[in-house]
Structure 1
């Protein structure tokens, strides 16, 4: 690979037109005539998909001369191969630096250069692909490398609200009240301790505990263990029940990517490659090309109710085949063999969350199992010494609708056995996967009032209840809805029933505008009947994030009422606001409420004010002002941050040591970000979904030269109310550049090499490439010892050291790599091939002031004429001490060069000189010439020539960090050298001339 390219004749086509076309293409792409071996980096096209670039060498017109760099070839091809094919490819290419296309053909991998698009076309046959196993119900591929919860994490969220009542009468007091809501969670190795409390103050201060519990999740089995306060969900006649005790429950939310509900599974056979379109309820939901063979399409979500599945198969011959399937799904169904349960034992609170009925321990048992894909069975019970309730039920899905049945009963104090039953029928027709066209539900229930003692069930209500529901989507996106229920029973079943009927219609009138009409009849047990009717109009302007709602209603009890509400919400991308105004008017009360809230990534703060009274416009009876705010303090593995309110999983993004002073943006959107790590501390990404893969992006827009952010994209998989710790950036702060010369003293063009960290052996090597002039760049380095290893035959590596506190862009100058046969390699002293880059120390430089023009300083007679601008540098002579240090220089004269015109160099307009003291070196001041660009020094390095004489180099770069050049320090004094602290020391004369041959090129 490392041998220099030798010009060779090219076997061009005899066709003159084709030859001319190829010549134009190569001359335009490479800037030279295609008459020799070409070495360049080209993009790849792998099986029709754009891939990464690879380094190639080839002779234009000779298809078999194409060689591809082995390291880069493995990187682009290995992800497509199975394990066996990977081993074969590695054995084939690893002994080689360059892989010829004829070698790849041995594995049936076709490789060629497309001379029209200048792409390396690779064709990998399907026989080399791995066996694809797609488990839709499992974790996505991103979860494999996702960051998990920290060992220790937690948060403390505080929400405060203060209310002030301003009475209209001057002789009345002005009371005030408030509350502070504190929520916290601490996670240690998967165990979460969480709690919530409220402090209220008005006439007196009250402290109330809302809940406290310890939770441990087992995501592999989707089981949650709880000790403390917990709630059992509603099942059958088992109402939602709050307990303080122990609970074991199956939680499907712990495995959100696992399918526990019935899903579609359909098998079919293809004789040839075909395009398969999947229609669900007459809507296209998927389309894909499949190879010949038996296929099993499964695990796509079915809609509630009856589902019509149609597969339309179009093969390569143009024939169309249709396969029809049908199935029904209910939201209450479980997949066959799946269990869902909750077992709890504890004590019921008695109105106050801190007081429990210790005399009546209560047990709660709920278990559901999927018997078939269309039938699920359930059993449940709740009992204590005085009350018991239990029951069984089943849910079944058919093509004619879904049917559910519950049969239960129980005992209550001083009662005999009390039976209960419920029957419900649902019919749902869906378009596609979610749009409901028509739905109908019918239900009948019998439940004695005494069975409701475990909950807030209305024990005075009649025991029998019938329900009817109907929804129909009409033309024009108008939806008609009817809900009705009738409750009757007791000693005189139909004497005082309860009834509730509501009829409504909703329609999209115009873009962003919808209207609703409704009418209702309400008759509660023991109360008078009430009629209600009204309409509302809602307008949403998404571009301006505003909404306006106007509603008017009337009833035979409350009379006429009107409500007008306006809201404006700016998207919260680091900073957002929410403002709103509500006007309401009724026969009994009039009110005006205005509120405003500011939300940032560190917290929120808002205020609202309410005028209310019978006629507030004339004489308001009360003014109420509320001030509210919320914020959180979160941490994970020692990284702390202040955040907007946290109530679930979160991520904390800190900065590494070298990133201090830099701003890290989390999930940036244009010029904004969801959160920022800055002088206020780490960034916090709150309220992630537990056990679900989330994406986090980092950006540092103003990193200095040489610094690296590191990975800018992460996948997160947090646990329940736990935090993930990240630290942005890495310790890399150095970017080096240089010119690599071979043993013959000539530049090594188009060579590949590696920069190997000799201190951190686990760090991957940095790959470098040289251009046609032998120049190379290597980034992502940190202080330490390195080896520059050219991957060229018969060339030995070179060592260099980056000492502590070195950073930024450093110019290594010319690096001469010796031959492996160099006799000096056998010597014990290898300092002749080692470079040391030491940090520089700042010095005080007087501010720049204009100076008159004068000619450039005269160079020694043995130096060639300088064609670019020249700067004079003043170096203070060392004092009597052996350890020179910076001294206060006097005023520095800054020359303005005025080159004399010559036949070779035309006269140019003079350019002003400019002093840059912030980039000055410890023993020198630098004056530079520039128009718009800024030229700065970034480091001084010293290394020996082959002759043993010292050589000094100074790096210069432009302000945009794109173009750069290396300049030589021309000696005008005597005996220059370096002291032990790497300071530049001169004896005798104290004047240096800097030769800047590349400055004009940079500026242009």
Structure 2
């Protein structure tokens, strides 16, 4: 249908200078071909002005007859109010337009379909469909492959003077294999060179991971860790863990997002501001509404509604909405359990000779403002347990913690802590304060973790405060002091202050100062400045750093490449100290099969042997990965591999069909440049996808042979935890034909022609081009003249554009 319409537009353009009667004759002859055939295609569907996705639809001629995509019902169930959805529920598949309970309009200019609904028939989630891709991409995302793996490595070779420890060689690996959601992963490295210490291999973290996605639970066996909560600190262990993992669904946040209700008495324009930023601008009918899914920050959020009714009258409603990422939504349960033995890395060996350790906690949102938690940890002869109560109010977020510990060697003790957090987002300027205060009190021999040399604290205070002094300057500071129960040990104090100054849109400066005094230890003072300059018209920037205490400065200039293939990224560093000067240059070059980096360093050190002069080092590094993915079907196994750039997470491998595997293919997604392109060896790949996030990927057919088209050019990916996708790229088996038609020794001008289902026209000189040719019958039909069988082999697969030259027709 769409090709026919465009063909007629093309014909109209050709005939503009000609007599209108000619056009009438051609249109009059059109019924010789059957244009009222049923055609299926993918089109965008909108609800009012909100796009909800691409769906398969059916046309009969120019008339939209049916919606032929089962996903539509699932999405509408989430977007429509229950009583409204019940009007759709009885519909059988396919969903005929004449039976659909709501008006449907086909916009033939924008090539889209619009379902007309009243706003009071829609759920609140409708306004946030772009914030929740699980609605937008319902049923479209491809599942990860049955089996996938990444064998990543990075090698670095140095050519160095003795000042740098001499020549060295290092290589590291980052590998994983995922079989239907069961993930085995391992990291490690090898080093060789006198300047690096011990030579040999080191095995890092190795573990088995299984995610239960529906429940957002993660199980790990191997090198894992406990978690922080309250007085309980995290530890690395070799063992097992079972925990709630909210990152499995990053689009559903576990903490409150500020639900508030408001009423409209007439149809109104509503503009929603959060902390001074416009979030939504929409027209809503009269009714009761609930603010939800707002992008709030920790602290007190100032939400403002500007409401303009149908008569032009304006009103403002304001809400102070408190929230905290430490406060869970009502009914949300978070937990963690881990057990194992702590380990230590020494030289090139990981030793699991630490203490046995068990750790667990549970946290529950009793309401949108109150969360309670409890935790326990057992390590050798140490027991630790505690409770946390958190409440979010318009006066700030308050947390009270109490914990009990007992260690056989030192006895028991109790720790108490009170925390107050405040972020006044509803004020501007100096009054827009962000602050936190924490007071800790310890009784007897309370300790957070196992110790063989316990010096228990008595109490401690921590204060942090930040505020914008103006629109271009902010300042923040903090202080803490802790007293030991044994007063002879003195006290532990620290102070810090920082300021950020934006001198221009592209120029900013940060200043940081700190003073730390550990008990009976020398005072450590630091003062530094950091200057950043972003060049407005390019992807270039410069940084300047100065350490006043150590009298050291560094200038860094970077020319970025915006991740463009084969385009180098340059970085130059100049460093100056009391006794040495240092120049470092680095060039990074991304290619489809590897990331290449070259680094050069020159140092003049006055404290080193002056006779040696300038010390030099050259380093070249190469990072790559072997990716593979397979799907096991009943009748076959699909498999493909790729050699790609460095990869540390999920990925996709694109398996091109035989007829286009030698063509150059580009992949585009989030970058203005191609993310990757066909490599010399293996298949096309897209590494480093973000786990559990949706990603739109577009195949760019620009470099395919002219006339070649693909069955599918756009894919929606939804990765698991370090998973791989196997995506088929297939041509549609169709090709193009061009030539020139002669009849009775004259060119056939402006004739309607057809080969199978494909339709086109000849131009003034009888030339034609017709695309979308396929099948096994190649009969060329010319309206009003006749037909002829083309000299093509029906058993052969053609691609691109075939030039048949001059074709002479005889009247049937």
TM-score class, shorter-chain normalisation, is 0.7 to 0.9
SS of corresponding position for 1:573:
coil
Structure 2 residue 283 is the aligned partner of structure 1 residue 289: yes
Q: 1:361 to 1:71 in 2, by over 3 A?
A: farther
Instruction: Tell me the residue number matched to 2:272.
Output: 278
Is 2:434 aligned against 1:466? no
Partner residue, 1:631: 624
Offset of residue 751 of structure 1: 9.2
Aligned to 1:268: 262
Q: Tell me by how many angstroms 1:261 deviates.
A: 1.1
Asked whether 1:73 is paired with 2:63, we answer yes
Distance in 2, matches of 1:187 and 1:46, equals 38
Over residues 828-854 of structure 1, what are the superposed CA-to-partner deviations in whole Å (9 max), with x where a residue is unaligned?
xxxx9988732799xxxxxxxxxxxxx
CA distance 1:672–1:91, change in 2 (3 Å): closer
1:408-447 alignment runs, 5 A limit: 408-430=403-425, 437-446=432-441
Aligned to 1:179: 170
CA distance in 1, matches of 2:393, 2:49: 46
Alignment of 1:370 onto 2:368 = no
User: 1:888 aligns to what?
Assistant: none
Distance in 2, Cα, partners of 1:400 & 1:92 = 55
- TM-score after normalising by structure 2: 0.78
Find the counterpart in structure 2 of residue 691 from structure 1.
692
Identify unmatched segments of 5+ residues in structure 2.
2-11, 36-42, 52-57, 77-86, 631-638, 742-747
Paired with 2:501 and 2:158, the residues of 1 have a C-alpha distance of 40
Of the three residues 490, 503, 512, the one matched with 2:506 is 512
1:584-983 alignment, distance < 5 Å:
584-587=575-578, 589-606=580-597, 607-611=599-603, 613-614=605-606, 620=613, 622-637=615-630, 638-667=639-668, 672-735=673-736, 755=756, 768=759, 779-782=771-774, 784-785=775-776, 800=777, 812=780, 814=782, 837-838=792-793, 938=802, 955-956=804-805, 966-967=807-808
Matched, 1:384 2:379: yes
Point out the structure with max Rg over C-alpha: 1
Partner of 1:354: 350
From 487, 512, 528, the counterpart of 2:522: 528
Look up the SS of the partner of 1:584 in the other structure.
strand
Q: How does 1:95-134 map to 2 (within 5 A)?
A: 126=117, 134=125
1:314 and 1:390 map into 2 onto residues whose CA distance is 54
Tell me by how many angstroms 1:373 deviates.
0.6
Work out which of the residue numbers 324, 343, 346 in structure 2 matches 1:330. Answer: 324
Picking from 541, 551, 555, the partner of 1:564 is: 555
Indicate whether 1:235 and 2:203 are aligned: no
Q: 1:150 aligns to what?
A: 145
Shift of 1:178: 3.0
Which of 179, 184, 193 is residue 188 of structure 1 equivalent to? Answer: 179
- What is the CA distance between 1:321 and its match in structure 2? 3.6
Deviation, structure 1 residue 134: 3.0
Q: CA deviation at 1:521?
A: 2.6
Task: Specify whether residues 350 and 515 from structure 1 end up closer, same or farther in structure 2 by C-alpha distance, changes over 3 A only.
Answer: closer
On the 8 A contact 2:657/2:728 being kept in 1, the answer is yes
Q: Distance in 2 between matches of 1:458 and 1:515?
A: 44
**Residue matched to 1:870:** none
Q: 1:318 is matched with which residue?
A: 312
CA-CA distance at 1:148 after TM superposition:
1.6
Offset at residue 123 of structure 1 (A): 9.3
Inter-CA distance 122–394: structure 2 relative to 1 (3 Å threshold):
closer
- CA-based RMSD of the aligned residues comes to 4.8
Inter-CA distance 392–37: structure 2 relative to 1 (3 Å threshold) = same
**Alpha-carbon offset, residue 676 of structure 1:** 0.6
Q: Could you tell me how far apart the structure 2 residues matched to 1:574 and 1:604 are?
A: 10
**Structure 1: stretches of 5+ with no match in the other structure:** 2-23, 52-67, 95-103, 741-746, 756-765, 786-799, 802-810, 819-831, 842-918, 920-935, 940-954, 957-964, 971-1004
Q: Please tell me whether the aligned partners of residues 612 and 623 of structure 1 are also in contact (alpha carbons under 8 angstroms).
A: no
Deviates more, 1:342-351 or 1:244-253: 342-351
Q: 3-state SS of the aligned residue for 2:548?
A: strand
2: distance between equivalents of 1:77 and 1:235?
51
> What do the CA deviations read for 1:684-739 (whole angstroms, capped 9, x no partner)?
21111111100111112233344212322211111111111123232514235899
Q: Deviations over 1:904-941 (max 9, x none)?
A: xxxxxxxxxxxxxxx9xxxxxxxxxxxxxxxx9946xx
The residue aligned with 2:495 is 501
Instruction: Say if 2:738 and 2:801, in contact at 8 Å, map to a contact too.
Output: no
Q: CA deviation at 1:779?
A: 4.0
Matched, 1:582 2:573: yes
Distance in 2, Cα, partners of 1:229 & 1:46: 48
Task: Select which of 444, 451, 456 maps to 2:447.
Answer: 451
Per chain length, whose mean CA-contact separation is higher, i.e. which structure has more relative contact order (CA < 8 Å, sep 6+)?
2
Find the counterpart in structure 1 of residue 248 from structure 2: 254
Aligned with 2:247: secondary structure?
helix
Tell me if the contact between 1:285 and 1:432 (Cα under 8 Å) persists in the aligned partners: no
Contact 1:156 1:185 in 2 (8 A): yes
Structure 1 residues 610, 393: CA separation in 2 closer, same or farther (over 3 Å shift)? farther
